[in-house]
A and B are shown apart, each in its own frame.
Chain A
Amino acid sequence: MKLIASLLILAFFATVPLWLQDQYYLHTLVVTGIFMLAAMSLNLLLGFTGQLSLGHVAFFGIGAYVSALTSLGFSVTIFGMPIVHEPWPPFVGLIFGALAAGLCGYLIGKLAFRVRGAYFVIVTISFAEVVRLVSLNWVELTNGPLALPGIPPMTLGFEWSGYLTLWGKAQNYYFVLAVIVLTYVLIRRLVYSPYGRAMIALRENETLAVSVGISVTKYLVLAAVFSGALAGLAGGLYAHYIQIIDPMIFMFLNTVTMVIMVITGGKGTLAGPVVGGLIFGIAPVVLRSYVGPEVQWILYGVLMILIVFVLPEGIVPAIERWFNRGGASRSPTGRGASSGGSSGDGSALALSGSGKGNS
């Protein structure tokens, strides 16, 4: 059931460029998809391990800059040593960007998970701020506030197959859609595996999780690496799609957008960031014809507070509960842990994934 519904939704999104001719709307959807991807990565930390990363935009921006610079080439002098890099294909840049952001996730995780809680939040914010200042001041590498223009669009393919350069909006749309689907599947597999269960166990009750042999550092750092790398991937996609980036990419409001997407959709659910991402990707387009950006942000802020007060779990769990209310009652082994995956697919609290019936 759930699978069929997912495929139908996917099929719908696959048809969008066929009937949506307005290039501006298509552009909005591409950017929405990229931010949705970033929100999915944030959800891994915020939702599944319960660690609020408020510097998430740093991973996104690092991915963007590394990917852009890898494909543009650069020459800098570090401690008197000249370093020259010739341009590489954008696809390699994308991978390097994700790797660099993942490495940063590793370092931040190692550093901050010794203390966690409020400290983790502050460390992540600080990290983003330091990265922003570096991007602003290391003019030789990043062009500083003058921005890094002329980033080549994404090119796919191999020598033997020929290359496809993604110039058009529709092409980028499909590429981003493919990356989202792939990422969704990967995150789903991770969550419904012993890895994901360990992360959720740490979120729910750390002492107890540790007592059954789960290592705090290992799984939190793993989540940070994975989350950072995915955010970096999103950043790389952004750089090659927009083709120009500047230090404004690191602004805190970008992190806030990701956080709002996750908590509105439902943190700790697979579908949450997708739903939240769609809402807040499209909302600005609707809002902009009525109000200025300040009012839009005020609305976002108010909404964030309202969500915490009224719908703390987010939209997806609320809808799920509404659906389940009329559905099958809790029969002992009927619906069972055996079908736990299909009954609560999006819910963090059903961890067993789909599997064969048992007992």
Chain B
Amino acid sequence: MDQLLQHLVNTIIMGGTYALLGIGLTLIFGIMRIVNFTHGELYAFGAYMMYFFATILGMNFFVSIAFAIAAGMLLGAIIEFLLLRPKRGADIDTTMLIMIGAWIVMQNTEHLAWGGIAKSITSPLPEAPLVIGPVSVSWLRVMVLVIALALIAASYMVINRTKLGKAMRATFQDSDTAALMGININSIYTMTFGFGSALAAAAGALLGPVFVVTPTMGDLASLKAFAIVILGGLGNITGAAIGGFILAFAEEIGAGYISSGYRDAMGFVIIIIVLLFRPTGLFAKAERVG
């Protein structure tokens, strides 16, 4: 029982960042119909930027997080502008190949720039864990959860309460009609990609200090994000948020009760089960597109 409680706490903490990853990816897919293979690299990029600002430049920890997110947003917008804008309207396979190419370039550039040795980011938070009854959590992880939840809430605000969000939702529903209504589709796409990338970078900046930063960390992040998005239904934002927590739970249980080696396999097992029984995702009715 105590162990299960600990697993649940871990689930909630990891689930927050997974949800960020998933929301970013599903937003890009839903609005742009692009399977973004660079998503994991933007996660890794966020983590490296965190390392750069916080450890190398020695900047304030929280300011560094904000800077890393901004850097991710900028890089995402650049990718969209350079690689996707010229191929607007191309079929999904074409854009997938472009994104795979970009993925390889980004990962190996990171490798060149930072070397293959794992980097660690020290946090200013107390070393001693927070202990509540049988459960213990490091303060760093608590902070990660709080910021992740705040970012999820902020994303919802942007999507549901702002003019930009309204334009995004209109494009999500029907890009042709949105264009007719005077929405600048090109800039919406660039902003969407930047926004989604910022969320991935945020997840990286938050988890960088929890784990270590390596050039290949993006691979698993990409694959996990795919699992989350499939779980929630491609293009479904709430589904992705919930999917993030479900994946985290499955991983905790998989690692805790099966074998820690299979922790990372849980996402794929989930994908296969979902596709077998509910190919359109668990929450197909909510706000799925197409």
Contact = CB atoms under 8 A, between A and B. Distances in A.
Direct contact between the two chains A and B in their complex (CB within 8 A) = yes
A130 B265 contact: yes
A263 interface: yes
A50 B93 contact: yes
Interface string A106-120: 000001101101110
B105 A126 contact: no
B271 interface: yes
B272 A117 contact: no
B108 interface: yes
Q: Bin chain B's interface residue count.
A: 35 or more
B86 interface: yes
A301 B227 contact: no
Interface stretch (A94-102, A160-168, A179-187, A305-313): A305-313
Max chain A Cβ within 10 angstroms of own Cβ: one of B104, B105, B271, B275: B104
A302 B268 contact: no
A111 B279 CA distance: 10
Interface residues of A, number: 42
B29 interface: yes
Interface string A267-306: 0000000000000000000000000101101101111110
B109 to A, nearest CB: 6
A163 B259 CA distance: 44
Given A122-B35, A133-B261, A304 B104 contact: yes
Interface in B61-110: 83, 86-87, 92-94, 96-98, 100-105, 107-109
A137 interface: yes
Contact of A294 (B96, B100, B111, B227): B111
Those 8 A-B pairs whose CB atoms lie nearest each other, nearest first:
A301-B104, A304-B101, A126-B268, A301-B105, A137-B261, A305-B101, A294-B108, A297-B108
Given A114-B279, A126-B223, A309-B87, 11 more contacts: A111-B275, A117-B92, A118-B29, A119-B234, A122-B35, A129-B223, A133-B262, A134-B265, A137-B262, A252-B219, A309-B86
Interface of B: 29, 35, 83, 86-87, 92-94, 96-98, 100-105, 107-109, 111-112, 219, 223, 226-227, 230, 234, 259, 261-262, 264-265, 267-269, 271-272, 275-276, 279
